[in-house]
């Protein structure tokens, strides 16, 4: 009996260590990938404009369009991704995106827009590839949360590195992205190697969360026929979360500058680190909930609370009842309370609840495609409709409006999938 107990304890300890290892490596890998994505947003590029639109905004839009196209293509690419050779695919994608930033540093404006488009397209596949290493496990909630909060932390940290390069080493705006990538090149190589060493899901993982397999076109269409209306509600919810999160992420430096904190680069890292820790703790609490439908319902509640926090804090800021730095912290926390679950837990528990033969990547890329499309439209609309508001005026007003719509869509999603669960009665 003691031998059985000792074996069980050893097995449990091994699972815990595997989960911690996978979470740590996934976090560090995607954080390093982020260094090839956002540091260019620190630059001002001389305030030049083309076609009546600020050059920096054009760069953000074109990179976002590249992301959008990669997400649409990724619906198929990630859904059918094989498990062998993922590190090679990752190396090619990140390497090409980095090369684009070298070309960006050398070519005159506005040709840099083409570089950012290709950069965005290449990097848009990386989330699905990295997540494919860790999905379908009992500990995926925790591992996925660690990976997902990496881009909260990395968004601030990589910008801080870019600011350090600019202020301490006088790196010009056009070279910031390439030089920041250089800083993270060796760490990323190491982390990709360590990702390959993550053990495969155990038989117990497969029993509880289902086997994660490539999805054919017929399987993807079957899913959409079965859950079509609910999928539309999810897309609407995620659309507005992505718009609010992406605008804040791309124009964070503008927002902080308008709020009077532009000369304090540590603010980027401090606020995002606090948000990362809070979100990681909240999502990690779901790991202990083994009943998938119950966890799936709680994730909906978390998204709802996130919308409420973002909307209310923005309303208070607009009416002068909240300081700018506190608002930036709370609106970020609220948005990521909604955004992060979609990137790690929401679809993981959806697949497990309804015993779907497939993978998370297909669903993430399906909603991501429309999310980035919406983000690009909102940024463009500010110029097309000549909305003469600063980012610190335009953004919180948008958050209030989108939060109301997001709350309605989330409530309907919860209602729909509860009804679907009762009607299908999955095993």
Structure-token pair, residue 380: 């463009």
Can you tell me the distance from the alpha carbon of 6 to that of 13, in angstroms, rounded to the nearest whole number?
Answer: 10
Q: What is the pLDDT of residue 4?
A: 46
The total of structural domains in the chain comes to 1
Q: Do residues 147 and 90 touch, judged by C-beta distance below 8 A? A: no
Q: What is the pLDDT of residue 281?
A: 84
Q: What is the domain-level CATH number for residue 256?
A: 1.20.1250.20
Residue whose entry in the numeric block shows the structure tokens 């979100």:
279
Q: Spell out the per-residue pLDDT of the chain, length 427, in tens.
A: 455 455 455 557 888 899 999 999 999 999 999 999 988 988 888 778 898 788 988 998 899 889 889 988 988 888 888 777 789 999 999 999 999 999 999 999 999 999 999 999 999 999 899 999 988 888 888 888 788 778 777 877 888 899 899 988 999 999 999 999 999 999 999 999 999 999 988 888 888 888 887 888 888 899 899 999 999 999 999 888 988 888 887 777 788 888 887 666 566 667 777 887 888 788 878 777 888 999 999 999 999 999 999 999 999 999 999 998 899 899 999 998 988 888 778 888 998 899 887 788 888 888 888 888 888 788 777 767 676 778 888 889 999 999 999 999 999 999 999 999 988 764 4
Q: What is the pLDDT of residue 427?
A: 47
Q: CA dihedral in degrees (34, 38, 39, 40; nearest 10)?
A: 140
Domain hosting residue 79, numbered range: 2-424
pTM beyond 0.85, yes or no: no
């Amino acid at each position: 009996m003691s031998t059985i107990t000792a074996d069980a304890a050893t097995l449990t300890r091994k699972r815990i260590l595997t989960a911690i290892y996978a979470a740590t490596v996934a976090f560090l890998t995607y954080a390093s990938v982020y260094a090839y994505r956002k540091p260019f947003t620190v630059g001002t590029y001389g305030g030049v404009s083309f076609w009546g639109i600020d050059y920096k905004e054009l760069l953000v839009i074109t990179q976002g369009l590249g992301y959008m196209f990669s997400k649409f293509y990724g619906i198929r690419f990630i859904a059918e991704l094989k498990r062998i050779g993922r590190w090679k695919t990752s190396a090619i994608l990140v390497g090409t995106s980095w090369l684009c930033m070298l070309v960006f540093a050398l070519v005159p404006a506005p040709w840099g827009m083409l570089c950012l488009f290709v950069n965005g397209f290449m990097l848009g596949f990386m989330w699905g590839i990295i997540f494919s290493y860790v999905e379908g496990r009992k500990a995926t909630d925790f591992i996925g949360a660690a990976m997902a909060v990496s881009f909260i932390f990395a968004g601030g940290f990589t910008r801080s590195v870019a600011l350090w390069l600019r202020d301490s080493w006088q790196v010009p705006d056009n070279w910031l992205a390439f030089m920041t990538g250089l800083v993270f090149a060796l760490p990323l190589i190491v982390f990709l190697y360590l990702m390959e060493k993550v053990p495969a899901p155990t038989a117990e993982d497969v029993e509880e969360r289902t086997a994660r397999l490539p999805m054919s076109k017929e399987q993807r269409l079957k899913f959409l026929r079965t859950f079509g209306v609910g999928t539309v509600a999810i897309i609407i919810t995620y659309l507005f979360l992505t718009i609010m999160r992406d605008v804040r992420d791309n124009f964070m430096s503008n927002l902080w500058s308008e709020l009077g904190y532009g000369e304090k680069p540590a603010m980027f890292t401090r606020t995002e680190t606090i948000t990362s820790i809070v979100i990681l703790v909240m999502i990690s609490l779901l790991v202990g909930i083994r009943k998938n439908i119950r966890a799936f319902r709680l994730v909906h509640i978390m998204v709802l609370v996130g919308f409420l926090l973002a909307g209310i804090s923005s309303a208070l800021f607009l009416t002068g009842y909240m300081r700018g730095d506190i608002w930036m912290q709370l609106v970020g926390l609220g948005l990521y309370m909604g955004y992060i679950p979609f990137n790690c837990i929401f679809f993981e528990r959806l697949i497990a609840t309804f015993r779907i033969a497939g993978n998370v990547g297909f669903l993430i890329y399906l909603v991501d495609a429309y999310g980035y499309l919406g983000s690009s439209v909102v940024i463009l609309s500010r110029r097309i409709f000549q909305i003469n508001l600063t980012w610190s005026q335009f953004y919180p007003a948008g958050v209030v409006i989108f939060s109301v719509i997001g709350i309605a869509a989330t409530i309907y999603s919860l209602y729909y999938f509860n009804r679907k669960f009762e009607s299908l009665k999955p095993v």
